[in-house]
Chain A
Amino acid sequence: MNPSAQTPVGQLEAARSLALGDGRYYPTIIPGVMPIIGANADASIEIRRWGADFLAETFASPTWPPDVKVPCALSVLATIKEYLEGVADSGVLRSAVQAAASIYPLVYRHIIADPADTQHWQLMLAIKSNILRRMDSAPPGVRICCVKFVQQIVLVQTPGMPPDPRRPEHTDISLALVPRDHPMIPYANLEAESSGLLDRLLGIIHGDHRLDRLMARDEIPLTMYSDALLVTATLNSLGMLIQRRPAVITKILSSVMNFNPLKLANSPMTSKNKVLMKSIERTTRALLVNVMKRNPEGPFTGRIQQYLEKIHRMRIDVLDESNRKRPAPTETTDNLDAAKRQRLDAPVPIMAPAVQAVPALPPGPVSFRQLFTLNPDGNTANFDVQAFQDPEQLLRILVPVLQSIDETRLGSSINAVRSRYLTLSTAMPRPPVQAPAAVDDEEEYEPDFEPEDAEQVMNKLDGAPPDNFIPERISDAPLAPYRLPEAPLLTVEEAQNHGKMTIQRAFQMLSSIGEPNLKTKITKGGFNRLAASSFDRDSWITILSRLATRASAGLGDIDQGIKSEFEVKRGSLGLGESIRNQLYQYIMSDWRKRIDVAISWLNEEWYNDNVIAQSTKPTSKPVANGNGAVSVTDKGNYQRCALRLLDGMLTYIEGTDKVLVRFISEIPGLDMSILSRMKKMAEDPERIDLAIMVLQYLYMFRPPVRELAVDVLVDMWRTNDRAKNNAKKLLLRWRPEALQEDREEAFKTEKESANGALEVKAA
């Protein structure tokens, strides 16, 4: 600091504060100040800085009107020019350029009105060219001010709203004011200049302004140190151009919307680059949102929204905001929080007390109720459980309450009661024996179980009048062993209901396990597998189907005969039947995905049927082959269940459900009744192909049922006109003789019908 400058600066400050107090003083103060700060005055850098700041502030001030500013502006041009040309302090330069930006419109307007004033316009032009020269070379702090200056030129040299003669004070200084034949400032030149300068401004956003310098000086890469400054400064200066100069909206907006605010993403993700990238993006967004807000119906709204969405997505991609979410607040390690809390001098609710405050017991004899009541003020202390007549209701309340108990609090409460009890039992002399009104002889006390039993006693006492005293000698009174009351015998019906509920629960669990991942390769356990070696769906299915098939096997009446489906539906009584019902429903609820369940269940059924058949009729012929068409146990559960499942599925099956092929081919036993379902299915023209496919598959891969399949096909060929063609192709290969017979027959009938009553010739 230059002490000699103190006095002049002090004087200048006094003048300034006068003007700050009332803007009307500016015209009188400026002439007084200029000799001190102005050109030709050999002022110190301190004074010049003050002077430049003052000029910038003065001509920006809203406290005095523009038309008064004009003559003053003309008087300071020389000083500003001198600052720009003669002083190389960036502080002075910055303020001088700011002042020039405020003054340019004023002088411009003056020249429009007074075309003869060449002198001042020459000064202004010198200032202008000086500033424009600095645009590319000055330090960034000055360059941003140059950007603003250029924006001012563009503003006044672009056509705006036509002047409103009724409100001259609000006249917008724009190219619209300039007469076409102005001698000093030709309209076309101004327009061309502003257009060029606007291009230069927009070039800054896109970083083009540095390319030539880059190549020439092999210097700082783009967006390295000052781009963000210049780019945001430019973006923030464009807003008012868009507002006030409709002529250039399209140009500006299309340029801005070609701008990629995240181009820094290619550079290393330092914390600085991240902040800059976010900042540029945010600034761009603020500009465009402002445009939309001012004119929501405008023609650009749609495009702007698209652009904003695009950069939003890009920002998420680039910055991965999910990782940048504010982390959970960490407790500050210094004492700040405590200090802060102390200031709140208010009963702050204690969030997690380390030790619960336990009120002292009242003096004198205490009841159990008092002993266990840790919170005498609370509502719970006066709560009578007996108010609940319905134990169910009580349960509904109690269970969640118990679940929500905080373990540490419970522990500390138990400890509190324990210590109370200890002090009580040591300090307090036992009162003489009183009739233990509420404590019966049976409910005596055993010290080993102290906490629990004390609670039990307390539970009993709680409802009793509170004047029960601690009974005498509880410590060594024996307690009879407690036995649970014997449960009443279940009726058959109840037992069945419970059984059903158990099964239902098992299936509920099954659905909660979820479907297995189809991708994973599961090795089939087969019949000898351990039913459940893991907690997955397959294990449960195996357990359940074995329960259904094997658990009650042989218990029923063997000669009972096959149960009709009607019987099954009516609800059979056995455990097996209800599991089968549930399995059936489980499969049918999503049969396409659960076809494997169906197959493994039916396999279990088939296996069990055979085992039973062997054990009950050891003399009968053994089962030769799983694929055998003739099953030993015609009456078995297998066929019944298979038919039921098949019938159930056939209702829903569509022509494209190849899963049926798998089902038919993987179930262990096939007979006419099962395969005739295919014939029935083929009555639906859309499912003919599927039926044929099933039969063809069986023919190819299950030779034991080959005959059966062909029989069915022949049958289909005969009875189903729509299936004739498809069936014929296969029959030609498998059993051409069948076709032959039929052709003869058909021929015969044809002849008959053709000839009517005429005699038939042999073919």
Chain B
Amino acid sequence: MSVDPRLARSRPQQQQPTAVPPPPPPPPMGSLDSVSDSSLVVPDDQFKLKFCTICASNQNRSMEAHLQLALAHLPTISFGTGSLVRLPGPTVHQPNVYNFNSTTYRAIHSELASQNTQLYTANGLLNMLGRNLTIKGYPERFQDWVPGKPRLDHREDQGAAGTEAGVVDVMITCEERCFDAVLDDLHNKGGKLNHPVHVVNVDIRDNHEEALVGGRAILDLALSLNTAAAKEREVLGDGGWDRGAGAARQGFDEKVPDLIASWQERWPNLPALWSLAWL
């Protein structure tokens, strides 16, 4: 029986990262390889931060990062900050434009495939959409997100485990425009949850290759943040922070700037920004 990966979401048993079906569209082998290393998967009994990846259209960069974080078993959701989902069209002046939150990746995939299969195969769009529809149902707009609203209807999404409450600890944006948009919108949302969130920008150019590299960088960042957060809970434990000394006394939150700085040294081509904001 031939297996269409686009149907993967409707078959929960196939959502294991090891069971990504063969093409067409081609499976994201590159991403799989990068996390097949067991050191890049966070064991489920360990403490986990909740992540959120954000780019302009919730298609390429945020979705690549979403996939890589989800494959590392980190709770992840993703958003776009644009007003509409914009994908390249036949010419620069004719982009394909879709609404957030209502147009599924599957619908976009089939529309583009019927429009011009060869073009959208050649520029990698169909491949990308094929990957996206195995991750979640539809692109979501950040500004429409209500933090704290349970996301039980997203249970099928990759990386959904842990994000049921609709709260995240770390947001990773993929370009400065999105970083600004996120900070701006968080002011508008008003911080009603009183929940601190680290917003980190990782500047990634919007193409498939850079998204892949950027996804790996984001995974690296997420893992180092998560390790620090988990360590805080181990080290401090019962008895409190004042028993420790020196670095051990340093909690997760104040370590974040250091972690980002050392991450920046590992990834000098992806300029970083950071801010502590409120959900």
Chain A residues with CB under 8 Å of chain B are 1, 17, 20-21, 44-45, 49, 56-57, 60-63, 87-91, 94, 98, 101-102, 139-142, 144-145, 148-149, 151-152, 225-226, 228-229, 232-233, 235-237, 239-240, 243-244, 270-272, 275-276, 278-279, 282-283, 285-287, 289-290, 293-294, 324, 326-327, 329-330, 332, 336-337, 339-340, 343-348
Contact = CB atoms under 8 A, between A and B. Distances in A.
A607 B213 CA distance: 75
A275 B272 contact: yes
Nearest to B253: A141
22 contacts: A1-B45, A20-B150, A45-B238, A61-B165, A90-B236, A149-B194, A225-B250, A225-B254, A225-B258, A232-B274, A233-B277, A243-B188, A276-B274, A286-B184, A329-B210, A330-B269, A336-B212, A336-B213, A339-B30, A343-B28, A344-B26, A345-B26
Given A57-B165, A139-B249, A340 B30 contact: yes
Interface in B263-279: 264-265, 269, 271-278
Interface of B: 23-24, 26-30, 33, 45, 118, 121-122, 124, 127, 146, 148-150, 152, 164-165, 167, 176, 179-180, 183-184, 186-188, 190-196, 203, 208-210, 212-213, 232-233, 236-242, 249-254, 256-258, 260-261, 264-265, 269, 271-278
Given A145-B194, A275-B264, A348 B122 contact: yes
Contacts of B33: 339
Contacts of A226: 254
A152 B278 CA distance: 12
A250 B208 CA distance: 47
Nearest to B33: A339
A229 B274 CA distance: 9
A236 B29 contact: no
A305 B187 CA distance: 19
A337 B122 contact: no
Nearest to A236: B277
Contacts of A17: 152, 164
B274 A324 contact: no
Contacts of A151: 191
Contact of B194 (A152, A232, A279, A326): A152
A91 B149 contact: no
Contacts of B233: 49, 91
A60 B253 contact: no
Given A145-B194, A236-B275, A271 B264 contact: yes
Contacts of A282: 176, 179-180, 183, 273, 275
B148 A60 contact: yes
Contacts of A283: 183, 275, 277
Given A102-B193, A278-B273, A339-B29, A62 B187 contact: no
Nearest to B164: A20
B149 A232 contact: no
B146 to A, nearest CB: 6
Given A90-B232, A140-B253, A275-B274, A343 B30 contact: yes
A339 B212 CA distance: 11
B236 A91 contact: yes
Nearest to A148: B194
A276 B213 CA distance: 24
Nearest to B265: A271
A275 B265 CA distance: 11
B203 A90 contact: no
B150 A276 contact: no
B180 A236 contact: no
Nearest to B34: A336
B191 A272 contact: no
Contacts of A20: 150, 152, 164-165
Given A229-B256, A340-B30, A290 B212 contact: no
A229 B275 CA distance: 7
Contacts of A330: 269
B273 A279 contact: yes
A337 B212 CA distance: 9
Given A226-B254, A275-B272, A21 B212 contact: no
B257 A272 contact: yes
Nearest to A145: B196
B180 A89 contact: no
B98 to A, nearest CB: 22
Contacts of A287: 183, 187
Q: Which 5 A-B pairs have the closest CB atoms?
A: A88-B240, A239-B187, A272-B261, A141-B253, A286-B183
B276 A345 contact: no
A102 B269 contact: no
B147 to A, nearest CB: 8
A144 B276 contact: yes
A235 B265 CA distance: 27
A218 to B, nearest CB: 17
B187 A290 contact: yes
Contacts of B251: 90, 139-142
B187 A345 contact: no
Contacts of B148: 57, 60-63
A20 B209 CA distance: 39
A243 B194 contact: no
A290 B184 contact: yes
Given A57-B167, A348-B122, A101 B242 contact: no
B253 A62 contact: no
Contacts of B121: 344-346
B213 A88 contact: no
A63 B150 contact: yes
A235 B258 CA distance: 20
Given A102-B193, A233-B276, 7 more contacts: A144-B196, A228-B274, A240-B191, A275-B272, A283-B275, A337-B209, A343-B30
A60 B193 contact: yes
A287 B167 CA distance: 22
Given A233-B196, A283-B183, A345-B23, A140 B254 contact: yes
B194 A45 contact: no
Nearest to A338: B30
A288 to B, nearest CB: 10
Given A102-B194, A225-B254, A148 B152 contact: no
Contacts of B256: 229
Nearest to B242: A88
A94 B277 CA distance: 15
Contact of A237 (B23, B183, B278): B278
A289 B186 CA distance: 13
Contacts of A345: 23-24, 26, 121, 127
Q: Indicate the member of A226, A239, A244 with the most B CB atoms within 10 Å.
A: A239
Contacts of A49: 233
B275 A60 contact: no
Nearest to B239: A88
Given A243-B187, A286-B187, A62 B194 contact: no
A337 B195 CA distance: 40
Nearest to A44: B238
B273 A275 contact: yes
Contacts of B146: 62
Contacts of A244: 190
B152 to A, nearest CB: 6
A326 B278 contact: no
Contacts of B274: 228, 232, 275-276, 279
